[in-house]
């Protein structure tokens, strides 16, 4: 029966190459498995176009994206990330509350057993705030005009870190 | 446990049953839920290992007490919204529930936006509710290949109810009735044309029929049509419930809960109920067999002589004939 213990390529994983079992290729970049991404909107911010745009673009690149909808608390986001077992969390915020909310999501993830899940953020975020966010543990920040290829390669970098 | 490529089955078992806690976690239930979500990912990425993992978990040897409810129906009919309300009712009775919500994968990219969860926001923080979105990953039966295994794993945590929401279905996707104890089919007041198409499909297989969104239009015609199409020929069989409902106003919800309960009693007490469960088991075994031998047969097909394949392509040899030969070859090779 041991022959079944060799990892195999999951059904329907497009671009999976026969010599590296289970892996998928997304925008020319190889991932060990289909990445699952949580796109979440913390706080009271109702601007959801950017979040939906990023969610669709990542889907079209071949990732599995879970979207929480707007107005989520840091705890709700962290619990969702853990139950969905996502590989990365992407926060979208245009209201200006990122310095407060992004670190709170990181803390909530720690509490829920998701400390190892990397977090990235995007939206209206002044350049001056970026160093503080990175220092707090956010993996990368994306502002208007973001190219999806850059998001994908950044996800790859964070998953291999 | 980052991305698990190889898994220690005995450790996984202990984590699922709570005998061991995940590193850095003190809350037993949270740790078990985390282990469950990791285990589902693992089986999703390594579907052929499901058999090994599931048969190695001792906790799976005791009878499953979770009730599995399938929620299927037309795209956008309100499956997730109704699931949200059903979860609310279950929680009012202090029972726990796991929701496995399947959404379709894109046939072009293989990716997916899994959006069912958005309708269940009110339960995100409730520790008695586990919600997991699954991509169909190209499977055509309305559920994912791993959904069955995910149900088994959730059963280890002892959820009172496991609800499976399928992708929005069209004519044929009826795999859910093989997985669920009770299947709800969600339609809308004006889905008459779709009904025509579904007549031979899942329409004859569900246990409870719900005409949702009846706050928007009168469900009377649909209700009649459903009664006509779903009444069983055999008076001994379960007579499906047909319910007008609205997840916007809550109308019909109590009837839905009641029908789920009566169907449960029927299956457990009526001789016909046993018959249905047996048929379900047979179908499940057949499907599992397909998964189990698929890799061996793929290997045999790729070993087949090129001219044999060409004959099938050109139509001079029926695929069925070659399949028969390969099957004999397979049986000889395992002797
Ligand atoms: C459209 C819009 C609205 C629409 C929103 C519609 C909707 N459903 O989204 C409406 C009219 C409703 C609206 C309302 C308000 N708005 Co407005 N709105 C805008 C506007 C003009 C464009 C935003 C947008 O949709 N952009 C298009 C998307 C695709 O871009 P994006 O979200 O930035 O996303 C890109 C990147 O940021 C990045 N990204 C974003 N998220 C993420 C996440 C991840 C993981 C990644 C990798 C990348 C990423 O990738 C995307 C693609 O490049 C901006 C101004 C601007 N130029 O941004 C103001 C703006 C965001 N709004 C603003 C304000 C103040 C408001 C209101 C408070 C106004 C009021 N007083 O009522 C309300 C609040 C509404 C609410 N409930 O929160 C301010 C915010 C100020 C601040 N941050 O300090 C802005 C910046 C205008 C301004 N210059 O003052 N708004
Ligand atoms: N008026 C009204 N709208 C409803 C009702 N139920 C659901 N909706 C709306 O219908 C839309 C689809 O609802 P969902 O619950 O997401 O439907 P679904 O069947 O899960 O959809 P898919 O999973 O995408 O197939 C949403 O905009 C809901 O708000 C209802 O009873 N009345
Ligand atoms: Mg849905």
Q: In this predicted structure, what is the pLDDT of residue A9?
A: 33
Q: In this structure, is residue A88 part of a structural domain? A: yes
Q: Do B46 and A63 touch (CB under 8 A)?
A: no
Q: Which of B71, B72, B75, B76 to mutate to test the pocket of ligand 2 (most atoms within 8 A of CB)?
A: B76
Q: In this structure, is residue A29 part of a structural domain? A: no
Q: Do A10 and B47 touch (CB under 8 A)?
A: yes
Residue B303 phi/psi, 5-degree rounding, is -85, -15
Are the C-beta atoms of A33 and A47 separated by less than 8 Å?
Answer: no
User: Which stretches of B30-176 are assigned E, i.e. beta strand?
Assistant: 67-73, 97-103, 112-114, 129-135, 161-165
Q: How far apart are CA A89 and CA B284, in angstroms?
A: 36
Pick from B24, B113, B135 the residue to mutate for testing the A interface (most A CBs within 10 Å): B113
- Å from A128 to nearest chain B CA? 33
User: Which stretches of B188-238 are assigned E, i.e. beta strand?
Assistant: 208-211
Q: How far apart are CA B67 and CA A138, in angstroms?
A: 41
Are the C-beta atoms of B132 and A83 separated by less than 8 Å?
Answer: yes
CATH code at position A79:
3.40.50.280
Q: In this predicted structure, what is the pLDDT of residue B170?
A: 67
Quick one: tokens of A84? 């969905």
Tell me which residue has its CA closest to atom 39 in ligand 1: A122
Alpha helices per DSSP H over chain A? 49-61, 74-83, 98-111, 130-136, 148-160
If contacts are CB pairs under 8 Å, which of residues 98-127 in chain A contact chain B? 112-116
Average pLDDT over residues A67-86: 95
List the A36-40 sheet strands across, edge first: A141-142, A119-123, A88-93, A36-40, A64-67, B112-114
From chain A, the residues in CB contact with B295 under 8 A are 4, 8
Q: In this predicted structure, what is the pLDDT of residue A151?
A: 96
Q: Quote the ipTM score.
A: 0.84
Contacts of the segment A117-120: beta carbons below 8 A, 24+ positions apart = A117/A81, A117/A82, A117/A86, A117/A87, A117/A88, A117/A89, A118/A87, A118/A88, A118/A89, A118/A158, A118/A159, A118/A161, A119/A88, A119/A89, A119/A90, A119/A91, A120/A88, A120/A89, A120/A90, A120/A91, A120/A151, A120/A154, A120/A155, A120/A158
Tell me which residue has its CA closest to atom 2 in ligand 2: B213
If contacts are CB pairs under 8 Å, which of residues 14-73 in chain A contact chain B? 14-15, 22, 24, 32-34, 36, 55-56, 58-69, 72-73
If contacts are CB pairs under 8 Å, which of residues 6-35 in chain B contact chain A? 6, 22, 24-25, 30-31, 33-34
Contacts of the segment A142-146: beta carbons below 8 A, 24+ positions apart = A144/A50, A146/A54, A146/A122
Q: In this predicted structure, what is the pLDDT of residue B198?
A: 59
Kindly give the distance from the C-alpha atom of residue B296 to the centroid of ligand 3, in angstroms, as a whole number. 36
Angle (CA) B218-B224-B227 rounded to 5° is 135
From chain B, the residues in CB contact with A72 under 8 A are 121, 124
Q: In this structure, is residue A105 part of a structural domain? A: yes
Q: How far apart are CA B122 and CA A73, in angstroms?
A: 12
Q: Do B111 and A87 touch (CB under 8 A)?
A: no
Question: What region does A118 belong to: left with phi over 0, alpha with psi -120 to 50, or beta?
Answer: beta
Q: How far apart are CA A111 and CA A91, in angstroms?
A: 18
DSSP reduced 3-state for B223 = helix
Q: Do B3 and A116 touch (CB under 8 A)?
A: no
The list of chain B residues with pLDDT below 50 reads: 1-5
Domain covering B63-269, topology = Rossmann fold (3.40.50)
Q: How far apart are CA A139 and CA A120, in angstroms?
A: 5
Are the C-beta atoms of B41 and B144 separated by less than 8 Å?
Answer: no
Quick one: tokens of A113? 């057993």
Are the C-beta atoms of A129 and B15 separated by less than 8 Å?
Answer: no
Residue B271 vs residues A46, A89, B17, B46: alpha-carbon distances, Å: 54, 50, 34, 38
Q: Where do the domains of chain B lie?
A: 1-61, 63-269, 279-334
Domain housing A56: 35-160
Q: In this predicted structure, what is the pLDDT of residue B4?
A: 44
Atom of ligand 2 nearest to the CA of B249: 31
Atom of ligand 1 nearest to the CA of A51: 41
pTM of the model: 0.89
- Give how many domains chain A has, as a whole number: 1
Helices (H) and strands (E) in chain A, counts: 5, 7
Q: Do B31 and A113 touch (CB under 8 A)?
A: yes
Task: Give the residue among B77, B80, B3 at the shortest CA–CA distance from B44.
Answer: B3
Q: Do B109 and A7 touch (CB under 8 A)?
A: no
DSSP secondary structure of B290-321: HHHHHHHHHHHHHHS-HHHHHHHHHTSS-HHH
Q: Which residue of B has its CA nearest to A40?
A: B118
């Amino acid at each position: 029966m041991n022959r079944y213990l060799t990892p195999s390529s999951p059904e329907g994983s497009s671009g999976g190459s026969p010599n590296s079992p289970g892996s998928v290729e997304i925008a020319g970049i190889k991932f060990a498995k289909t990445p699952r991404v949580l796109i979440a909107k913390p706080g009271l911010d109702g601007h959801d176009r950017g979040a939906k745009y990023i969610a669709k673009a990542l889907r079209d690149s071949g990732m599995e994206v879970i979207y929480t909808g707007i107005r989520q608390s840091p705890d709700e986001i962290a619990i969702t990330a853990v139950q969905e077992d996502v590989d990365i969390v992407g926060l979208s915020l245009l209201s200006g509350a990122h310095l407060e909310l992004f670190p709170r999501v990181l803390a909530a993830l720690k509490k829920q057993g998701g400390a190892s899940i990397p977090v990235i953020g995007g939206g209206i975020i002044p350049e001056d705030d970026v160093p503080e966010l990175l220092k707090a543990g956010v993996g990368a920040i994306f502002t208007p005009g973001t190219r999806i290829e850059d998001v994908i390669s950044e996800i790859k970098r964070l998953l291999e870190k | 446990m980052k991305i698990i490529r190889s898994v220690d089955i005995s450790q996984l078992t202990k984590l699922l049953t709570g005998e061991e806690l995940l590193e850095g976690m003190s809350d037993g239930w949270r740790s078990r839920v985390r282990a469950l979500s990791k285990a589902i990912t693992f089986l999703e990425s390594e579907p052929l290992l499901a058999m090994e993992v599931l048969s190695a978990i001792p906790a799976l040897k005791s009878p499953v007490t979770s009730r599995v409810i399938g929620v299927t129906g037309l795209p956008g009919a309100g499956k997730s919204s109704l699931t949200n309300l059903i979860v609310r009712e279950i929680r009012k009775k202090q029972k726990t529930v796991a929701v496995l919500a399947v959404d379709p994968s894109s046939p072009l990219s293989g990716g997916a936006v899994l959006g069912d969860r958005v309708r269940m926001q009110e339960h995100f923080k409730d520790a008695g509710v586990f919600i997991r979105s699954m991509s169909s990953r190209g499977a055509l039966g309305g559920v994912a290949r791993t959904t069955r295994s995910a149900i088994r794993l959730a059963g280890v945590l002892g959820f009172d109810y496991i609800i499976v929401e399928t992708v929005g279905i069209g004519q044929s996707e009826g795999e859910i009735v093989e997985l669920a104890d009770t299947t709800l089919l969600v339609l809308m007041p004006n889905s008459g044309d779709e009904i025509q198409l579904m007549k031979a499909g899942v329409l004859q297989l569900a246990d409870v029929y719900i005409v949702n969104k009846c706050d928007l239009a009168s469900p009377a015609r649909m209700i009649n049509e459903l009664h006509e199409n779903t009444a069983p020929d055999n008076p001994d069989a379960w007579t499906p419930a047909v319910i007008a409902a609205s997840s916007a106003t809550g109308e019909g919800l109590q009837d839905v809960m009641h029908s789920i309960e009566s169907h449960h009693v029927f299956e457990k007490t009526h001789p016909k109920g046993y018959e249905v469960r047996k048929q379900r088991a047979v179908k499940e075994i057949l499907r599992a067999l397909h998964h189990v031998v698929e890799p061996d047969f793929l290997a045999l097909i790729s070993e087949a002589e090129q001219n044999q394949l060409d004959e099938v392509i050109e139509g001079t040899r029926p695929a069925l004939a070659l399949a028969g030969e390969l099957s004999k070859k397979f049986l000889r090779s395992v002797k």
